[in-house]
Amino acid sequence: MDSRILQELKSLLGPGNVRHAREDLLLYEYDGSVEIARPDCVVFPQTTAEVAGIVGVARRTGTPIVGRGAGTGLSGGALAREGGIVIVFSRMNRILGIDIPNQRATVQPGVVNADLSAAVAHAKLHFAPDPSSQRACTIGGNVAENSGGPHTLAYGVTTNHVLALEAVLPTGEICRFGSAALDATGYDLTGLMTGSEGTLALVTEITVKLTRLPESVKTLLAIFNSVDDATETVVDITARGITPAACEMLDGWTLRAVESYVHAGFPVDSAAVLLIDVDGLREAAESQAAEVAEVCARHHAREVRVARDERERALLWKGRKNAFGAVGRLSTTYYVQDGVIPRTKLPQTLRFIGAVGKKNGFEIGNIFHAGDGNLHPIILFDARDPEEFRRAVATADEIIGYCIEMGGSITGEHGVGMEKDRLMPLLFSPSDLEIMRGLRDTFNPGGLLNPGKVFPSKKGCGEIHARPLPLGGNAADAEMKRTTDLPRA
């Protein structure tokens, strides 16, 4: 990178907040996805004014900029695909205000998701979106990706909880959208910015709704001898108008991987389990738990366990939330997909995934948000073998193709990023993409903010083209990626 740019950034932020040595940059060239892209420099602003200053430098010098939280994203959203400056928000990590009576909080983007919930737990409140990476991922990242989590089934995804934003626009302007009070006048710019994957603005302050913790939560573990029985149970629970707070499925293969790592008490000889939370008033949770148990039994659950206390509950959920870490112990690399299907299509889709894995010679585990039809098939592969990597991606694409055929979508909560840009034309027409791209260019005119994301590259517009090999076959890089144990999904 041009030394004059570095000099400018250093005088703006202080030399300690600008890193450009190779060994520093290596830490920021990956995220939770299978992609790799190395920035030219990494900066750590502490104020909104500093962020605006960085944007100013980038604009004057035509340097790409990418925002980054904890780097737990699963679609390459925080990677510097075209090099340039990565703005890491880890030092903008203050909770700026908590308003208990109104159930609001205002935070800087680098605040860790779980830290906000911990900070308001004394008032029986929490920040409802709960990605499995919530102990590491940041709220800024959640806003960029519109993150979900197991409990979004009942509580909604990030966008349902964001009320107002302060952001630095690619033009360098600092702007506020929305308000802590509901129904701010004007177009819903907060809704547009949330989930725009860092392509429209850099969010520097976030006002969110806090949600009251339920009085009672019942956690059920339903154990099945067949995947079909488990998926049929999910369909039936939905059809009966029961809305659990969470309804997660782990198949037998994943269970065994998790159990040997977490010892959550999952039955290793079963074909699938459903991990279901029902919550609300004590009386409501109890009656719903009984209803859910009955539906499970009707679909041949071999056993339905109800967590007896908070410790048992926490252990079962620890098994779920650490599942991806457990899988990491089994394979050099794995590829997590994020397809969505209508819930009624779960049984045939799971059968399809099994068949596709068998056909292409991959082990595919399934651990996912069954209640809202958000699949996370995990394809194990060895990234050091470029041919195997290509086949793994082709397998994932086959699964995504099937999801779309079922009326679904290519991403439920991980985002498009650089992972799925080439799949966008499967869902959107060239003209649809032209409009979205035009809107991006309206806010991000030079295209310097997070370039190469969400939209297929211009030349390939409207067609799917061969995916480049992101790991580059570099053994050292692959090795580093393998040993990175980040919380995921």
Partner 1 sequence: MTITPSSLARHLADICGSAHAVEDPAQLACYQIGESRPRAAARPASSEETAEIVKLAAAEGLALVACGARSKLGMGMPPRRYDLALDLARLNRVIAYDPGDLTLSVEAGIPLSLLSGELHKHSQFLPLAVPFFRSATAGGSVASGVDTPLRQFYGTARDYILGMDFITGSGVLTKSGGRVVKNVTGYDLHKLMIGATGTLGVITKINFRTFPLALEPRMFAASFADAAGALALRNLIADSALRPLTLDILSPVTAQVFSGNGAAQIEPGPLPSGLFPDSSWHLVAQFAGNETVRRRNESELERMAHEARAARVANFAMDEMEGLAGRIREFVPIALGNSPATTIIKIGVLPSRMDEMLASCERAARDNNLRWAGVARGVGIILAALLPDELNEDSARRVRRATEQIAESAATLGGSMTVPWSPAAWKSQLKVWGIDREDFAQMKKLKTFFDPQGTLSPGRFAGGL
Say if residues 168 and 47 touch (Cβ distance below 8 Å). no
Amino acid identity for residue 241 in this structure: G
431 forms part of the interface with partner 1 (CB under 8 A): yes
- Rounded CA gap, 235 and 247, in Å? 11
Distance, in Å, from the CA atom of 7 to the CA atom of 147, rounded to the nearest integer, reads: 36
Stretch of 170-178, 357-365, 389-397, 471-479 contacting partner 1, by CB under 8 A: 170-178
**Positions 191 through 210 that interact with partner 1 (CB under 8 A):** 191-192, 194-196
Site string for partner 1, 64-103 (x = CB under 8 A): -----------------------------------x-xxx
Task: Give me 406's structure tokens.
Answer: 């079922």
Q: How many Å apart are CA 454 and CA 448, to the nearest integer? A: 14
What number of chain residues touch partner 1 (CB under 8 A)?
Answer: 82
**Residue whose CB is less far from partner 1, 103 or 225:** 103
Identify which of residues 63 and 211 has a Cβ nearer to partner 1 in the complex.
Answer: 211
CB 146 → partner 1: shortest distance, Å? 5
Question: Could you say whether residue 372 binds partner 1 (CB under 8 A)?
Answer: yes
Contact set for partner 1, span 278-307 (CB under 8 A):
280-284, 287
Residue with tokens 């570095």: 6
Q: Taking CB under 8 A as the rule, does residue 325 contact partner 1? A: no
Among 235, 289, 396, 478, binds partner 1 (CB under 8 A): 235
Contact residue for partner 1 among 2, 24, 215, 485 (CB under 8 A)? 215
For residues 224 and 443, which CB has a smaller minimum distance to partner 1 in the complex?
Answer: 443
Site for partner 1 in 18-57 (CB under 8 A): none
Among 5, 340, 378, 392, binds partner 1 (CB under 8 A): 340
Question: DSSP state, 369?
Answer: B
Single out the residue of 64, 109, 110, 214 in contact with partner 1 (rule: CB under 8 A).
214
What element of type H or E holds 207?
A: strand 202-209
| Cβ nearer to partner 1, comparing 136 with 157 | 157
Question: CA-CA distances (angstroms) from residue 284 to 215, 218, 280, 290?
Answer: 10, 10, 6, 10
DSSP for residue 214 = P
User: Is 427 among the residues that bind partner 1 (CB under 8 A)?
Assistant: yes
State the Cα torsion 33-255-246-241 to the nearest 10°.
120
Amino acid at 73: G
Single-letter amino acid, residue 1: M
